[in-house]
Chains A and B, each alone.
Chain A
Amino acid sequence: MLRLPTLFRLFAFAVLVAFLIQPQWFEPLLRPLVQENAPAIYNQGSLLQLTLLHLRTVAIATACATVVALALAILVTRRSGAEFLPLSRSLVNIGQTFPPVAVLALAVPIFGFGEKPTLIALFLYGLLPIFENALTGLTTLPPSIMEAARGTGMTGRQRLMKIELPLAMPVILAGIRLSVVISLATATIGSTVAARTLGEVIIAGLQSNNLAFVVQGGLIVAVLAVLIHDALQAAERSLGSRMGR
């Protein structure tokens, strides 16, 4: 038997898919938001294609941020890398404090218009939550378990792969989840430098004073964010409950 929140999420997902495939079904709902004879449904491209491109951008940026942040966190929590901890912390912090818009502005002259500047901005912006959470996860492991892992004769690599990473995984996943949600929203500004994301819909709405465009672009991003957030959270919970947390 499915619980009510799960049913609600399934329903939201179904509505989202329906809207992306057959947007004209929803035209009567959006019609009141626009002036007469203006289009109520985005008509300068396929919403489905934009959504997939949007997700692809976020996925690539988060994957890169995860690899780099996790590798950095692992490096600085080893005995040999401990001295790099303060340095890597400030580097990652700078990535977070630098506004994504500024990153876009700086990256465009180097990489040109399109997806690349957006990927760089999202990558830098996504590093911090993953790095900080991985650091927390790897440094707060119960001492008795780490002692037992050494005592059973695991090598440093075996301890990392078999004990430390699996035990820190729920916390690391929480960092990735945070980073994904931030990136989903931030990716929309990529369309100001001609990256193909759902930001296009919102920007088109702002330019032609079409509230319906803004609403549908915003809602798609919001529903995506909520659904992906909940799915990742469910994954964390199922990992955590196995360990008795």
Chain B
Amino acid sequence: MIEIEGITKRYGETTVVRDVSLTIAPRTVTVIVGTSGSGKTTLLRMINRLVEPTSGTIKLDGEDNRSLPDYELRRRIGYAIQGHGLFPHRTVAQNIATVPTLLGWDGARIEAKVTELLTLFQLDPVAFGPRYPHELSGGQQQRVGVARALAAEPKVLLMDEPFGALDPIIRAKAQDDLLAIQKHFETTIVLVTHDMEEAFHLADRIAVMDKGEVVQYATPAEMLVKPATAFVESLIGAGERPFRLLAIETVADAVEPGAAEGEAIASAATQREALSTLLWTGRKALPVIGPDGALIGKVSLDGLVQRAAGPT
């Protein structure tokens, strides 16, 4: 649980973050979005005190984040940034071992952790551990950057545009991997991005920032249906709204009784994917199969159209 209470940051005359209060539930993904200069990165960096707030408090599990020396606090909080920030003179294994080494873990435990993380991120520990960062591709470097942030098993992971430098295909894969890893470690993730698509894909809750203030803090569905301000609406993109609405819910929620012809779709797929398949194949309905492969009903074009409709 992260409780941000009345946080303000001023640099001289300019107020970068103005009186922000947010409560972030444990084991969730919160995405902070906003245009550049909206103060979203500053807000994130105040959580691990890379930036000290002018006023206000931030509590982690009820404990003020100023009750520890700043470097000890940061060892407890994972931090991943755009362009990964890997140490070029250290091997991949040494990079991942950074925080455990600072914490004084014994060698065997560090080695086991490095192996576990590399395997989890689909990098062969024997092949990649001894390599230097510049010998890796962009996607691999990014994964090592996240692995390093997670090495000391932090409860909280802060990410500042972690996928910003990746091409679209690798980025989509990295986002899916992140969600899988978040479930695996039950980490609380706070992620900053300017990409709405990314926000809707990853977030349990989205905080929209504009000129240093949080203008809306809501679940993706709420935000789509009831955007708080014109700015939020423009950020979402009016033309994208029905598709985003369908993209955040799975087919399982739209299953109707009955049968349909043709190739089936998995219940875990998004409703947007179902709509896309329906439109592309020119059918009126698709059979739906559950996670066990059994037929559980159908999803129809009419049903999805109704679901995509906004409030009237």
Contacts and interface: CB of A to CB of B under 8 A. Distances in A.
Interface residues of A, number: 18
Interface in A148-164: 148-155, 158, 163
Nearest to A159: B71
Interface residues of B, number: 27
Interface in B75-90: 75-76, 79, 81-89
Nearest to A150: B50
A151 B79 contact: yes
Interface string A221-245: 0000000000000000000001110
Interface in A110-152: 144-145, 147-152
A244 B133 contact: yes
Interface string B97-115: 0110010000000000000
Interface core residue of B75, B79, B98 (most chain A CB under 10 Å): B98
A154 to B, nearest CB: 7
A244 B81 contact: no
Interface in B36-52: 48, 50
A153 B89 contact: no
A163 B86 CA distance: 11
Contacts of B135: 244
Interface core residue of A148, A166, A167, A244 (most chain B CB under 10 Å): A148
Given A151-B79, A152-B99, A243-B132, A144 B88 contact: no
Contacts of A155: 71
A148 B86 contact: yes
B73 interface: yes
Contacts of B86: 145, 148
Contacts of B75: 152-153
A147 B81 contact: yes
B148 interface: yes
A149 B82 CA distance: 14
A153 B69 CA distance: 10
Contact of B79 (A145, A152, A158): A152
A154 B98 CA distance: 9
B134 interface: yes
A108 to B, nearest CB: 45
B189 to A, nearest CB: 15
A147 B85 contact: yes
B134 A244 contact: yes
A243 B88 contact: yes
A150 B74 contact: yes
B72 interface: yes
Given A152-B98, A153-B72, A167-B88, A144 B134 contact: no
Given A152-B99, A153-B71, A154-B71, A144 B81 contact: yes
Given A151-B81, A152-B148, A244-B134, A145 B87 contact: yes
Contacts of A144: 81-85
Interface of B: 48, 50, 71-76, 79, 81-89, 98-99, 102, 132-135, 145, 148
15 contacts: A144-B82, A145-B88, A147-B85, A148-B79, A148-B81, A148-B145, A151-B48, A151-B85, A152-B74, A152-B75, A152-B98, A153-B76, A154-B102, A243-B89, A244-B135
